[in-house]
């Protein structure tokens, strides 16, 4: 489609603000225009498309399916424009490196090594965003992500940082033996899981575990999960990387282990030229990656 056939940038920007705020007046305040002007821009887009983008929901408003699709793409597009402008304006040199990782990874792998980063790069500024949810780089603004999986994330450059797999473990004195015949045999036990976790939940689903079948589940912050396990209060799925010493020294027993061996934590970033602080941080991470 030719750019000449697109709606005006002002109309698209207005709708993107409406989609975020779910409120015409709030969008108007952000853009410094009137409620009526915002409404007019949205109606113009709907007329152009021949379908509704927003609809009333109680006293507020909600996006239609078409509105959700357009909002997602506009948010990604405006974020790309924002990043590009910041790079050209020279702001990127002073902007901290934003890194997302799970709370468990931050606690048990990253923080023990953070002093080494500061020693090597005392001028390096980081913003760590622990999140158990898998963030979308097209929408969520981050420079580097550490994520578990087989690699090959679409649209991103990925480098293996540490090969590992998820295991289900419990205190050895609580659960005799070191494995179970079927993962479904574990549903009656007391479970712990990291609050808001996505990666582990996806993995357990792949193993055939019916998550709804578990009768006792307690959510904990990632930094408290291993403490609860070591005290023998229940079982949990976690990366073997975090509990390798506990397993070797007999504090924890493996109850279930995936046969998949092509998994691990990867360094993810957008493809292309990295601004210097990001490149520096990625290079430091790669110093811990397996040598080819």
The CA distance from 103 to 208, in Å, is 25
Among 37, 237, 2, which residue's Cα sits nearest to residue 17?
Answer: 37
pLDDT on residue 118: 94
Which SS3 state, helix, strand or coil, does residue 149 take? strand
pLDDT at 282: 96
Residue-level pLDDT at 243: 92
pLDDT for residue 155: 80
**Can you give the pLDDT at residue 284?**
97
pLDDT at 199: 77
- pLDDT-flagged residues of the chain (< 50): none
pLDDT at 99: 93
pLDDT of residue 92: 62
Residue 53 near residue 112, CB atoms below 8 Å: no
Burial of 194 (0-12, 13-18, 19+ CB in 10 A): buried
**What is the model's pLDDT at position 203?**
81
């Amino acid at each position: 489609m030719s750019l000449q056939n697109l709606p005006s940038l002002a109309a698209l920007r207005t709708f993107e603000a409406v989609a975020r705020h779910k409120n015409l007046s709030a969008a108007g305040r952000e853009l410094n225009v009137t409620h009526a002007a915002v409404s007019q821009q949205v109606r113009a887009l709907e007329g152009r498309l021949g379908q509704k983008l927003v609809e009333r929901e109680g006293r507020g408003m909600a996006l239609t399916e078409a509105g959700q699709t357009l909002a997602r793409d506009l948010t990604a597009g405006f974020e790309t424009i924002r990043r590009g402008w910041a790079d050209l304006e020279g702001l990127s040199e002073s902007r901290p490196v934003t890194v997302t990782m799970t709370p468990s990874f931050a606690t048990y792998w990253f923080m023990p090594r953070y002093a080494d980063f500061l020693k090597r790069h005392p001028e390096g500024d980081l913003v760590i965003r622990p999140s158990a949810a898998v963030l979308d780089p097209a929408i969520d603004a981050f420079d580097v992500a550490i994520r578990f999986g087989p690699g090959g994330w679409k649209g991103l450059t990925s480098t293996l940082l540490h090969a590992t797999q998820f295991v289900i473990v419990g205190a050895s004195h609580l659960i005799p033996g070191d494995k179970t015949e079927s993962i479904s045999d574990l549903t009656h036990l007391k479970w712990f899981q990291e609050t808001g976790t996505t990666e582990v939940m996806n993995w357990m689903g792949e193993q055939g575990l019916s998550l709804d079948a578990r009768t006792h589940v307690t959510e904990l912050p990632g930094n408290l999960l291993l403490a609860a396990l070591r005290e023998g209060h229940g079982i949990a799925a976690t990366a073997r990387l975090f509990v390798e010493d506990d397993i070797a020294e007999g504090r924890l027993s493996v109850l279930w282990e995936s046969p998949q061996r092509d998994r691990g934590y990867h360094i993810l970033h957008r493809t292309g030229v990295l601004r210097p602080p990001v490149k520096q941080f990625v290079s430091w991470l790669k110093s811990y990656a397996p040598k080819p």
